[in-house]
Amino acid sequence: MPTRTSLNPWDAAPAADKMEETTTSAVGEESHWIPLTDLMTGLMVIFLLIAVSYMMQVEADAARIKNVAIAYSEIKDALFEDLNREFSADLPKWKAQLLKTDLTIRFSEPEVLFAPGSSELKPEFQAILQDFFPRYVRILTSKKYRDSISEVRIEGHTSSAWNGSTSPDQAYFLNMELSQARTRSTLAYVMSLPADREQLAWLRRYVTANGLSSSRLIVDSKGEEDVARSRRVEFRVRTDAETRLANILEVTK
């Protein structure tokens, strides 16, 4: 006869205890993983917020740069038109040019400007400056442009030549000395004009003399130095757009 197995309820206790331990262990592991998942989610949200904030800042900086560029373009175009309207009839007789690219008025007739090797203004150039500069200053100091001007540069340029016995290096530095002397004498002359005395404080603040030797030669269609045209005096306007752009770029570094 088969032996009957006794089903004692107490015999099941160890198995139940094991199941409870397993369940408790699983809950413990789950309780360990839930905070880690929350941490990863939180970090992802933080990184996302940082990325969004950065992109918003980049877009804001791009918009500011665009606004400065638009303002500069508008001022540049308007100033060119006003200068051209004022001087277009006089430029040919002065042997001068108005360049739209950088708002430069270029006087490039060496025989009119200075004697060879001299920084003393010729009478012809003095007469031109007497006519040109007060009208030039009147435009630049008008309410329309006054607050947008950062510098008015008087630039002196030479050819690369000096004389046959000097080396290229010697010629460069001798021409540097000469170009600096010429721009200083030009600056001194225009600031002494009676018509400009009312704007003397503004002139001292914004008008500068810059001798550049042969660093910016003018070349012909063959790429060779144009000696005569390289010997010139230029009046060039810089607006505050460059300063404003530099400030924006400095902040965004």
> Does residue 151 contact residue 203 with C-beta atoms inside 8 Å?
no
Q: Is the pLDDT of residue 9 over 60?
A: no
Structure-token match 């063959």, residue found: 222
Q: How far apart, in whole angstroms, are the C-alpha atoms of residue 28 and residue 67?
A: 59
What are the φ and ψ backbone dihedral angles of 114, each rounded to 5 degrees? -140, 155
Q: Is the pLDDT of residue 32 over 80?
A: no
Q: What letter does residue 121 receive in the DSSP assignment? A: B
How does pLDDT run across 53-108, given as a tens digit for each residue? 778 777 776 666 666 566 667 888 999 999 999 999 999 999 999 999 999 999 99
Q: What is the largest CA-CA distance in the chain?
A: 145
Q: Report how far apart the first and last C-alpha atoms of the chain are (Å, whole number).
A: 95
- Asked whether the whole model's pTM tops 0.75, one would answer no
Residue 59 has what pLDDT? 73
